[in-house]
Amino acid sequence: MNTQHGFGLPDRQEGKPRFVIPSAYFGLGGYSKPVFPRLDALFQGHYSFRLPCLPLTIFDFDEAPAEVTVDGQSFSTQPYLKSLPKKVLLDVTRKLRRHDTKVVAFMERFRPYVALQHVHAVDAPGLNLFMQGGNLVWRLVWETHVLPEIKAQLHHLHPAPHTREELERRGMAVSNRSVIWVIAGGGSTTGPTGLIPMLCELKRLKPPQTNLFAVVFTPRSYRDKTQQHRVKGRAIFRATMEQLLAIYDGREFDQPYGTDGYRISLNEEPFDQLFLVDGSLSGGRTELKSDELADLVALFLFKLTVGSIGEQFLSIIGNLNPTIKEENHEVE
């Protein structure tokens, strides 16, 4: 993908410290790919370099990177795209079809959560394949490929004292709060099958004073899909949201997501705020194109990271910062 950015890079204000809320961004699947290089371009245009406290990661079973051109400069997902192995799914499904005794016994731990009879040997999880394939492959790669990357990125979220001092010397004002964002398509395959375990894992691992938000693209935002894909996407989206909101409403999540017995367990709300994006404006009278929608989401994430509006936003929906809470109370 190679498109021209719709709004360009922001003007820098010389002499003023640049504010930043440390934020980690995790994209799931192809629908995060148009957003992340645009967000990366905005950050680099504003700060002049990649900040260590703004880590970007995209998990996808498709190795193809995405690229956008902003003011003549190319920005690609290649530096932070983590391609997950597809071969593990092929190997398991091939052995399941042959009724390999050891593999069948090994897969019993996943049987309550994956309809193994619906899992087929395929090239990669995708919209045109069974959701069960995507569900299974996340479980097979989570412990060795996903979890280490999550922990590494969260490790960089709160800058160490020497890093914070270096950022301050370079004219940065770093917030004491932090945010984790998960961006995913809600009506595809990789996004929906990875969304719930990702949120549950991040909620368990997140540092203190950290909010966890999700941005999910609804099936209405899939402008480039066929009607058949949209119909299937709506069913996938409804099932995903029902399960996610059931967890938010008190249902415990405790499922195996590792080949060596690793489980993700959560008995509290899996997120602080969920943003559903469909790209419609003016009550549905206008619809944004895919690139325009990616521009809008990237700008939304950017604005909540680089300015005081971000901390005001967090104080309203999170109230994690006692000082801000007390100040708001005094104003009232």
Whether residue 170 lies inside any domain: the answer is yes
Whether residue 286 lies inside any domain: the answer is yes
Pairing relation of β-strands 81-83 and 273-277? unpaired
Q: Which two tokens stand for residue 268?
A: 């509290």
Whether residue 116 lies inside any domain: the answer is yes
Whether residue 5 lies inside any domain: the answer is no
Its domain, for residue 93, covers 18-331
Whether residue 171 lies inside any domain: the answer is yes
Whether residue 8 lies inside any domain: the answer is no
Whether residue 10 lies inside any domain: the answer is no
For the ranges 136-140, 192-196, 314-318, the lowest mean pLDDT is seen at 314-318
Mean pLDDT of the chain: 85
Q: Which helix (H) or strand (E) holds 251?
A: none
Whether residue 4 lies inside any domain: the answer is no
Distances in Å between the Cα of 253 and the Cα atoms of 190, 204, 242 are 19, 11, 13
What is the tally of structural domains in the chain? 1
Mean per-residue pLDDT, 221-241: 85
Mean per-residue pLDDT, 254-261: 94
Mean per-residue pLDDT, 133-142: 93
For the segment 10-69, what is each residue's pLDDT rounded down to a tens digit? 444 455 678 999 999 999 999 999 999 999 999 999 998 889 999 999 999 999 999 998
Q: CB–CB of 33/183 below 8 Å?
A: no
Residue 126 has pLDDT above 80, yes or no: no
Q: CB–CB of 38/102 below 8 Å?
A: no
For the ranges 177-181, 182-186, 254-258, 277-281, the lowest mean pLDDT is seen at 277-281
CATH number of residue 141's parent domain: 3.40.50.1440
**Which pLDDT does position 96 carry in this prediction?**
87
**Which pLDDT does position 1 carry in this prediction?**
38
Residue 4 has pLDDT above 80, yes or no: no
Mean per-residue pLDDT, 129-135: 79
